[in-house]
Amino acid sequence: MDEKHVILDAWRKKVEGIQSDPPIDYKTVFNETVRNIGDVKYSLLDIGTGAGRVIFENNLNKLYRKVVGIDIRPEMIELCKESSKGMKNVEFFVMDATKQMTFKPGSFDVVSAMFPPFNPSEINRVLSPGGYFILLSSLKGDHKEVVKYFPELERFSSGNYSFTTLKALSRNLRNSGFKIVATTAMKYKWIFRDEEVLKRWYEKVAFRRIFDGSEEKLASLRRNIDGKITITRFLCTTVARKH
């Protein structure tokens, strides 16, 4: 077995059998926005694409002229390339969206981002005039029950940045040359059956073990009447347009 398939098989085993979707689908507004803005004349860049879920689940290759996904993790890009075989207008690259990307100015009409770290000025640079930036991000208070005991998770859950307020996020985008078109915030409870399921989900997303030796802290997490662990989700889909 070659190195590429060893990486893919290891990833599949890592996520096998782990249910990470909440009772409310937090991706609904974000995905609908990406689809609705789609146009066969437009090109789209998905940053922090991961396994390419935004691209593949929304069939963006049929809605956009060209689709490009980038991620800092080579194993994710290998997985995307395997999944996109036969799609002539889809490409994937290993790239860091917090630094200067290799794309020319104005290369894309739409940039989508689901939780990844990014440089707003660099997003502005690669967008064409009037282009859209569609962002799903965590707001202050997201995962607050877990962050109370494990503050380092605030950084990983928000894309290596501390959770921000909607006001601060909007100001940051405006200062980088964007006009805010729409914001849709969602706040709800996410329910985990027990500590083991919670541990598996967070460690899957963080790509590392987090809670070893922290059983006492985990036992202190807030629970509902059935004894299940309840975690607050506070998320926002923002649509910004380049001036």
* Complete domains list, the chain, with CATH: 3-139+161-187+235-242 (3.40.50.150)
Tokens of 21: 């979707």
Question: What's the pLDDT at 14?
Answer: 56
Spatial CA neighbour of 107 closest among 121, 123, 127, 131:
127
DSSP state of 8: H
What distance in Å separates the CA atoms of residue 48 and residue 134, rounded to the nearest whole number? 13
Report d(CA 112, CA 70) in Å as an integer: 11
Residue 166: which of 152, 182, 146 has the closest Cα?
Answer: 182
Strand-by-strand arrangement of the 66-71 sheet: 90-94, 66-71, 43-47, 108-114, 127-138, 229-242, 178-192
The whole model's pTM is what? 0.86
Helix (H, G, I), strand (E, B) or coil at 120: helix
pLDDT in tens, the chain (243 residues): 455 556 566 655 655 554 445 557 788 999 999 999 999 999 999 999 999 999 999 999 999 999 999 999 999 999 999 999 999 999 999 999 999 999 999 999 999 999 888 999 999 999 999 999 999 998 989 999 998 988 877 765 444 445 788 999 999 999 999 999 999 999 888 888 889 889 888 887 777 788 888 888 999 998 888 888 988 989 999 999 998
Task: Look up tokens 């002539």; give the residue.
Answer: 88
Give the per-residue pLDDT at 22: 57
Rounded distance between C-alpha atoms, residue 26 and residue 39, angstroms: 24
Q: Count of CB atoms within 10 A of residue 157's CB?
A: 19
Radius of gyration, CA atoms only, the chain: 18
Q: How many CB atoms neighbour CB 39 within 10 A?
A: 13
**Which of 61, 47, 48, 45 is CA-nearest to residue 106?**
45
